[in-house]
Amino acid sequence: MDNTVISSTLEDYLEAIAALVEINGHAHTKDIAERLNVSMSTVSSALQTLSSRSLITYQPHMPVLLTARGAERAAVIRNRHAALRDFFQNILKAPYQEADAAACRVEHALNDEMMSKLVLLAEAISTRDDCRQLRAYLSRVMPELRTESTTGAPLVALSELQEGQRGIVVKVDDNLRGIKKFADLGLVRGSLLQMEGHAPFGDLLRIKVMSSSLSLRRQDAAHIWVRLTDNPADSMNTSPQGSR
């Protein structure tokens, strides 16, 4: 058995134990169960596995302690979590609780190389003088990218958007013809799009989704519901030709 590899669930246990040890000097099974919202029996099983990997010292009814190896592994996990949470909160402008929850899910999926690149990207965006305009743009645009509105803004059919208006896809009707095709093109819940224009003849609309443009029939666009962003005239294209 490769003792260096543990599941994401066991990594969560190590992270929880380290946090409790930092606060209390030790971690009890009951405390771990409460922190992770799992049963005592589930915790006991996980602790036995971690103990067999020499990551903790564990005996029933005794405090749980990290071994040197376990403390090192937990520190790596906690540092990943903190870096990801800061990226989601400070760069993507997510609320703290959402950023923290997302970090919990993503921290297990990235390898060391990808994690290092993400940290480097976050540092560059946050500190470099030549990223000042980018920071201002992200601060303005990122909070708009929410499928759930906090302002009660109504939904608008994509077919009703005017040229230059942007919106976030909130809902796609089940009876949309070719729904899978449009999903493959990026027209899914949470996507940012912009109305580029209306064809001079016929009912075709030109829609920009991420960095791609696609044509969509008006009657199909009527089944896609969006919430307009706060800055509808602000083009997603950062080139001078795309500015309005």
pLDDT reported for residue 230: 59
Q: Are strands 156-157 and 166-172 parallel, antiparallel or unpaired?
A: unpaired
CA distances 191 to 228, 229, 238, Å, are: 12, 12, 18
| Residue predicted with more confidence, 233 or 86 | 86
Q: Which residues contact 119 (CB under 8 A, 6 or more apart)?
A: 83, 87
pLDDT reported for residue 215: 86
pLDDT reported for residue 148: 62
* Closest by CA position to 81, among listed 101, 95, 65: 101
Cα separation, 59 vs 193, whole angstroms: 56
Q: Which long-range contacts (CB under 8 A, 24 or more apart) does 195-198 make?
A: 195/158, 195/161, 195/162, 195/163, 195/164, 195/165, 195/166, 196/163, 197/163, 198/163
> For the whole prediction, is pTM greater than 0.85?
no
Instruction: Give the end-to-end CA distance of the chain in Å, rounded to a whole number.
Output: 60
CATH number of 8-66: 1.10.10.10
Give the percent of the chain with pLDDT over 70. Answer: 87
pLDDT reported for residue 152: 59
Structure confidence by residue, pLDDT tens digits, 172-205: 888 777 788 878 878 888 888 899 988 766 688 9
SS3 call for 38: coil
Kindly tell me if the per-residue pLDDT of 207 is higher than 70.
yes
**H or E segment to which residue 179 belongs:** helix 179-184
CATH number of 156-242: 2.30.30.90
